[in-house]
Structure 1
Amino acid sequence: MSSDIIFTRKDQHLVYSLKENVQARGVTTLLECVRFVHQTVLEANFSDVDVSTKFLGYEVAAPIVISGMTGGTPMGGKVNAMLAEVAQRLKVPIGVGSQRAALKDRAAVETFRVVREKAPDVPVIANIGASQVSMGLSAGEVQELLDMVGADALAVHLNPLQEVLQPEGEPSFKNFLGNLREIVKSVKVPVILKQTGEGFSRESALKIADTGVKGVDVGGAGGTSFAVIEGLRARYAGLDLHEEIAFEFAGWGIPTAASVLEVRSALPDILLIATGGIRSGLDAAKVIRLGADFAGLALPVLKEVYYRGVEGGYRFLEKVIRELKIAVFLTGGRTLADLKNAPIVITGELKDWVVQRGLRV
């Protein structure tokens, strides 16, 4: 596969995300089914609320991750630079998009390296796809990815739906678990498995329990859908059959709220990040209450920096963090540990999911 094809696809993903409605169809995060029980009699000042925490041993200001999105093209590099400035100012972790392009074309390296240059004091998460792992990514290539961004962790993204829908996709995962174990052994940083919009099930979580993986990013359904994005790519390329199939799967996946409960039921001690349709600090508070340690945001931050620059991205995430603090305060707490024990009510489809899947809240 030529690097030109990779570059074109990456820019298409960015442009469609920014200019089109790429929301999943017919499915939500199910966070609307989670309600906190408001506490009127409080025993703290709002100024006492502290949402600082640790990310794989690193002190960060809030349980918020700017999720890996892009890189590999000049446009992606500019976006990464702005996102990194936001992460540095807020002291929160940040990921990069898939670095496969930089393994094929050295000209793409700087579009990823810029993240560490602009964010020298926060955790940075490198990124490569599960299909590359399955097809035999070498230890030297993995180390190259880590060195490229001065990585504190490596995310291996899982996107089987996207790969099978792409005309140029590589839906090859036969040797994934064995190769993943070798990578975990070979690297000196923690490895995180990151879903990209289809969610993570309890069954999948149990499969990786003995691999040495330190974190899971559930990437649940209800936010950006790569089935929709691939459907749009097919539409504008005149690939009618690919478009029809892609939109058939535009609601596929495990909703974010359910996926958090699924993974936490199987892996009680793993670092758990909830991405997929997180749009506010209240959403972040809900996924943390359900069992996540961090909330990851992608599309809303991308739009803010693209249309309003670094200041727009900073203002948006500053608002998210303040909303999270308010949720902690109004549930009678001061810390994230208090939030994790706040009383909640679960209704509707999420309640049905909990009952039918035998999950604990």
Structure 2
Amino acid sequence: MNKHVLLAILTLRGGGAERNVISLAKLLVDSGHHVDIVVFKNQIEHDIPPGITVHYFPYDNYRSIPRFMRGTWVAKRFDRWVKRFIGQPDLILSNLFPVDFVLSRSKLANVYLTLHAALSDEVKTTLQAWDLQEVIKVYRSKPVVANSAAIIEDFTRFTDSKFQAAVVPLPLITEDVELKSQAFNPGVERYLVTVGRFEQSKHLDHLIAAYVKSGISEKLVIVGSGKEEAAIRQQIKTTGRGTDIILTGFISNPYPFIRHALGFVLCAENESQGLVILESALLNTAFVAQDSGLAPKGLLADHQRVPLGDEAALAAKLAAMVSSPDDFLVPAIEFVTSEQIVSAHLNLIR
């Protein structure tokens, strides 16, 4: 029987969580199910596959409401809005703050909060502006899902929640990644690449400093955009290697850049899902990461990781990787099928 699934997220601008939402929506639609995506900010950069409707819920209209009462107040209006414009979904998956903050109070059926990182790390970084007890209250209010057993284990220890916590496969469409990676040639010879938002937690400053220290002649391609772009551009100006560091801006299909690169470099803090690690594995691209978060530890070999903030160690790894990329390929990973991904998510419906 076909199901109706609603996926809620703050925006559809960049980011692994946003790509996960779109990929899951596509898999569900391709399997004959009905999918709506709701964004809380009307910001969409990604291409939306056919058959998926994106709705805008105007959360910014309610930001003037004091935070202590905003969640419950907005949740009531969100529930009415969904019933009026979308209907009665069989399953609702919430993604990221402040969406989780609102939907944790929703009275709609089968609402799950999706964890995209270890919550014990999130409260120290992206959620540090929120009161710790408020965050814990949010994630104790509904069942949760995550694409990693390690994230769920961390969540259970950290919150002692009594609700269901389930692991569902990461919605990585391997055929899609392969096909998109052949869409164009980046037109750059011998380069390293990184892909992601320009924000402090991604530590692009570490990468640029390590790249300069490495002394390698290969270029560095940085795919993405974000609020730290001005600072990154200023840092690049001071390196003396401005012509070797290429900022592409946001690109909805970064896979050709990953496919043709000598190696991918990840410097993000608290990387828990490792979507780019899996994508690099699929495209046979070498990989090096700063060792922060669950994903690098779980998916990479010891020699592919360096301590967070150790720019000298990272510089040495970059030189080693461009010299011998095959030594830095991601260890073998068993990818799940599209059918398994869809079934696991629909099994959440009670």
Normalised to the residue count of structure 1, the TM-score between the two structures is 0.31
Question: Greater helix percent: which structure?
Answer: 1
- Greater relative contact order (Cα 8 A, min sep 6): structure 1 or 2? 1
- The structure whose Rg is larger is 2
